[in-house]
C-alpha cells in the first residue's frame, strides 16, 4: 500500500519537493506518493487535520506555516525547539511529531557539497524570519561567529538574545555593516522572491568568501551583487532544498537517499 505525504505552503506552485521525493523513492525502492498542497493563510491547521484523517503519514511545511506547525506538535526534536519552527511533521497514531531539517540541510550543503568549512568563520545571516530561525543554531553549533542583520533590527535582536553570553552572535542593522567583512554571507530574506537586494554596503566579502542565497532556480540580485563584489564562491539554495528533503525522507522512511545524483539531475534540468 502506498504511503501518502505532501508539502503544504502558500504559495506552493513553484515547489520542487514532489519531484525530489519521487526521485528519492525511486532510488531507495520506497512505495510513497507526495503532492503539493496550497493551504489558505488561515487554514493550515485544518489542512493538517484533513491529511491526518485521510491517512497521510506526514508532511513537509514551507512558508509561511513553519511557526504554526511547530505549535501543533506534541513532540518536537531539539532542532525544532531551537528554531521554534517545524518543516517536517510525522503523524504517529493520534499525535503530531515535529522536526526542523532546514539547518541540517544548509550545513550539509555548505560543508559537504560546497566544501566550505564553517568552524571559526565569520558569517552574516540576513533576515530574521522562519528561514533564519531555522539555521542560526546549526550555524552556531558548526562553530561560526554570526551577525544577524534585518531591516527591523529588533527582530534580529530577539534571535541574538537566545545566545546571550556566548559572545559570538550579534544583531545589527544594515547600516551598521559598513566596514565589516565576512567569510560567509547568507541571504535568508524574501528579497530574492521580489527580485530585490537587501541594502548591503560594498566591501562585504573577505578573500575566499562564500555568498549563499536560499532562493534557488535562477541568478538572484544578491548572487549578482556577490559576483560583482568578488565573492570567491556563489551558490543558490537548491543544495539546501535537496539535503533538507533527504533529512525529512530519512525521518519518515528510515532510509537515507544519496543526494549527489539527485542534485546533479536537478541542476541539469
pLDDT digits (tens, 9 = 90+) for 55-65: 999 999 998 99
> Which residues, at least 6 apart from 224, have a Cβ–Cβ distance to it below 8 Å?
none
Q: In what order do the strands lie in the sheet with 145-149?
A: 169-172, 145-149, 122-126, 182-187, 205-213, 233-235
Q: Note the pLDDT of residue 243.
A: 98
What CATH number labels 103-238?
3.40.50.720
What is the grid cell recorded at 264?
A: 546533479
In whole angstroms, give the CA distance from residue 83 to residue 102.
9
pLDDT tens profile 154-175: 999 999 999 999 999 999 999 9
Cβ density class 77-90: b for 16+ within 10 Å, e for less: bebbebbbbbbbbb
Per the document, the length of the chain is: 269
| pLDDT at res. 194 | 83
pLDDT number for residue 55: 97
List per-residue pLDDT tens for the chain, 269 residues long. 999 999 999 999 989 999 999 999 999 999 999 999 999 999 999 999 999 999 999 999 998 999 999 999 999 999 999 999 999 999 998 899 999 999 999 999 999 999 999 999 999 999 998 889 899 999 999 999 999 999 999 999 999 999 999 999 999 999 999 999 999 999 999 888 788 899 999 999 999 999 999 999 889 999 999 999 999 999 999 999 999 999 999 999 999 999 999 999 999 98
106 within 8 A of 83, measured Cβ to Cβ: no
Question: Where is 259: in which H helix or E strand?
Answer: helix 259-268
CB-based burial, 23-59: b 16+ in 10 Å, e otherwise: bbbeeeebebebbbbebeeeebeebbeebbeeebbbb
How many angstroms separate the Cα of 247 from the Cα of each of 16, 59, 108, 180?
16, 13, 10, 34
CATH topology of domain 3-100: Rossmann fold (3.40.50)
- Grid cell in block for residue 126: 540576513
The number of beta carbons lying within 10 Å of the beta carbon of residue 221 is 17
Residue-range domain boundaries for the chain: 3-100, 103-238
Of 16, 36, 66, 121, the catalytic one is: 66
Q: Do 3-100 and 103-238 fold alike per CATH?
A: yes
Spatial distance between the Cα atoms of 43 and 54, rounded to a whole number of angstroms: 17
Active site residue 66: yes
Q: Which residues contact 71 (CB under 8 A, 6 or more apart)?
A: none
Taking the C-alpha atoms of residue 25 and residue 1, their distance in angstroms, rounded to an integer, is 14
Which residues are CB-contacts of 235 (< 8 A; sequence separation ≥ 6)? 109, 114, 210, 211, 212, 213
Residue 143: the pLDDT is 98
The position carrying cell 493538517 is 48
pLDDT of residue 88: 98
Amino acid at each position: 500500500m502506498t504511503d501518502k505525504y505532501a508539502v503544504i505552503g502558500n504559495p506552493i506552485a513553484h515547489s520542487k519537493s514532489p519531484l525530489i521525493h519521487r526521485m528519492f523513492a525511486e532510488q531507495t525502492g520506497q512505495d510513497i506518493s507526495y503532492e503539493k498542497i496550497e493551504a489558505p493563510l488561515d487554514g493550515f491547521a485544518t489542512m493538517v487535520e484533513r491529511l491526518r484523517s485521510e491517512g497521510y503519514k506526514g508532511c513537509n511545511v514551507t512558508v509561511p506555516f513553519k511557526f504554526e506547525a511547530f505549535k501543533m506538535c506534541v513532540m518536537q526534536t531539539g532542532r525544532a525547539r531551537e528554531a521554534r519552527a517545524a518543516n517536517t511533521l510525522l503523524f504517529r497514531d493520534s499525535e503530531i511529531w515535529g522536526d526542523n531539517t532546514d539547518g541540517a540541510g544548509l550545513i550539509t550543503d555548505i560543508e559537504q557539497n560546497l566544501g566550505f568549512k564553517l568552524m571559526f568563520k565569520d558569517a552574516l545571516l540576513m533576515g530574521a524570519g522562519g528561514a533564519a530561525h531555522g539555521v542560526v543554531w546549526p550555524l552556531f553549533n558548526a562553530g561560526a561567529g554570526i551577525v544577524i542583520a534585518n531591516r527591523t533590527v529588533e527582530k534580529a535582536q530577539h534571535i541574538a538574545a537566545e545566545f546571550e553570553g556566548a559572545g559570538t552572535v550579534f544583531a545589527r542593522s544594515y547600516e551598521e555593516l559598513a566596514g565589516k567583512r565576512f567569510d560567509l554571507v547568507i541571504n535568508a530574506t524574501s528579497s530574492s522572491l521580489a527580485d530585490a537586494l537587501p541594502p548591503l554596503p560594498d566591501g562585504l566579502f573577505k578573500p575566499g568568501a562564500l555568498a549563499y542565497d536560499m532562493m534557488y532556480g535562477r541568478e538572484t540580485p544578491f548572487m549578482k551583487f556577490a559576483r560583482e563584489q568578488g565573492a570567491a564562491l556563489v551558490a543558490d539554495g537548491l543544495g539546501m532544498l535537496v539535503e533538507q528533503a533527504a533529512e525529512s525522507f530519512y525521518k519518515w522512511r528510515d532510509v537515507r537517499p544519496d543526494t549527489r545524483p539527485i542534485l546533479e539531475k536537478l541542476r541539469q534540468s
